Amino acid sequence: MNEEDWRRFLGGYHDARPGITERFFGLVDESPYAWLAEPLRPVTGTVLDLACGSAPLRARLPDARWIGVDASAGELAAAARLGRGPVVRADATALPLRSASADAVCASMCLPVLTPLPQVLGEVRRVLRPGGTLAALVPAQSGLSASGALAWARVMYALRAMRQPWPNPRARDGLAELLRGAGFRVRSDQRRVFALRLDTPDAVALLVDGLYLPRLSKRRAQAAKQALAAWASSGRRLELPLRRVVAESFAVSGGREGDRPRA
């Protein structure tokens, strides 16, 4: 799938399923959002929530001047219905903030799927003040136990899929290296394995719907939901390894102050 097709799929996916990531994380034993928010809680200045979705992080950063940005009108409408704002519709490659105007950027589960990633990271670095914080949460490839790996293999077999075709697979366990290459100083790189509750057919359906699988047909998705619901009926837990990388920006050489309007 080329970049244009991927961007079209991603936009349609989130417009049709607003709040999908927040609902998916609602199945997790402990909140990944709370983990992501930890290094950002001391920030009282401007925090840009990149690809904010339905803005689940808004309430976890009450002392910050929070701004949510997303390209999906459906996701932003969901955030507005929940009273979470302010939010702005914008592409991650053209953020509507002045250079060096943000004290922090949070990026929840978005860096493996936003394209082109070098341009996205360049924009994040542009809007961050020197020394500003980037806190990113991404799915991890490593960390599964043997039984956990077998469980995920069963899920993907039911979907007849080898993997999720993310355009930036290195922005998972290799995210720290990518950030260093983009001019960030990495403060911490941690992995944590959460548990995803699959104790109802609705939870299994949410698991299937929450995966990025552009070629998954409605018929195959329904068959997978039925097969996995029977498998998970005894209250199964699915391991969910996530990685949190916290970094800080350097001064951007040649940056132009005021080259984008302030949100």
> For position 260, what pLDDT does the model report?
45
The pLDDT tens digits for 215-239 are: 999 999 999 999 999 888 777 899 9
> For position 257, what pLDDT does the model report?
38
The pLDDT tens digits for 90-120 are: 999 999 999 999 999 999 999 999 999 999 9
Domain residue extents for the chain: 3-143+167-197+239-249
Given a cut of 80, whether residue 252 has pLDDT beyond it is no
What is the average pLDDT across 46-63?
96
What is the average pLDDT across 113-128?
97
> For position 262, what pLDDT does the model report?
38
Average per-residue pLDDT for the chain = 93
Percent share of the chain, pLDDT over 90: 89
Instruction: Count CB neighbours of 160 within 10 A.
Output: 13
Q: Is 224 left (phi over 0), alpha (psi -120 to 50) or beta?
A: alpha
CB of 47 closer than 8 Å to CB of 64 = yes
Nearest to 149 by CA among 32, 224, 240, 228: 240
> For position 235, what pLDDT does the model report?
77
What is the value of pTM for the model shown? 0.92
> For position 251, what pLDDT does the model report?
63
The pLDDT tens digits for 7-37 are: 999 999 999 999 999 999 999 999 999 999 9
Torsion of CA 144, 148, 149, 154, to 10 degrees: -150
Given a cut of 70, whether residue 125 has pLDDT beyond it is yes
Given a cut of 70, whether residue 255 has pLDDT beyond it is no
Given a cut of 60, whether residue 165 has pLDDT beyond it is yes
Euclidean distance between CA atoms 55 and 69, whole angstroms: 9
Q: What is the CATH number of domain 3-143+167-197+239-249?
A: 3.40.50.150
